[in-house]
Structure 1
Amino acid sequence: MTVQPYRPETLTRAELDALPGCIVVEFGANGCGHCAAAQPVIERVLAEYPQVRHIKIEDGSGRRLGRSFKVKLWPTLVLMRDGLEVLRLVRPTGASQVEEAFETLVQEG
């Protein structure tokens, strides 16, 4: 399994809010130990939900998108449906926690 790196933000909050469907926005940093530890669980659950779009965004001080979501700890997963935040996970560690969140996201509609 190849873990995709966090990428610099390219979307504005308005653009992100306008995206349709189920989306998980994952904020983190490429050198973050908490982020690296969470990746196997996040990637495994994502593989079970192909209908969920995954956007990994590199966060840091002064990054506007992360601040617009009030992200303070990494990784933070913001689960959105049709532009609205359904729920969020901060530093998830257990597969069951991530699976329950994804199940809630896809069943909202």
Structure 2
Amino acid sequence: MSYTRQYTPETQSRDELDQNTGPMVIEFGTNWCGICQGAQAHIKTAMDNHPDIPHVKVEDGKGRRLGRTFGVKLWPTLIFLKDGKEMARVVRPERSSEIEDAMVKILQG
């Protein structure tokens, strides 16, 4: 699984994510967000270089608790997890290299 196109409602709890093993990228945003749409080319480029890393897109917003547990304030926010622990974060990426740098942290960390 590499790049995921659509944001979906929360499917995992924070407890489940904290117990996850291996690397994972969680992206918070919405399908209608213009800034999220503008960042997708950079996100896709980076994720396509790492097809073995799960990429979960979580629809965020009012009443959505998962984003609050990570302290998400702006969209898109990418959280890079390794064995359930946050290793890096990229907010509103403007280059795929920002995402690649964070990927290195979860692959080497």
Note whether the superposition's TM-score is higher than 0.5: yes
Structure-1 residue corresponding to 2:100: 99
Asked if the contact 1:38/1:92 (under 8 Å) is kept, the reply is: yes
Kindly report structure 1 stretches of 4+ aligned residues shifted beyond 4 Å: none
Structure-1 residue corresponding to 2:51: 50
For structure 2, the residue ranges without an aligned partner over 5 or more in a row are none
C-alpha displacement at 1:19, in angstroms?
1.1
For structure 1, the residue ranges without an aligned partner over 5 or more in a row are none
Q: Is 1:64 the counterpart of 2:69 in the alignment?
A: no
- Count of paired positions: 107
Structure-1 residue corresponding to 2:81: 80
Query: TM-score, normalising length from structure 1?
Result: 0.93
Query: TM-score, normalising length from structure 2?
Result: 0.93
Cα-Cα RMSD: 1.3
Structure-2 residue corresponding to 1:27: 28
Aligned CA distance change for structure 1 residues 69 and 3 (closer, same or farther; 3 Å): closer
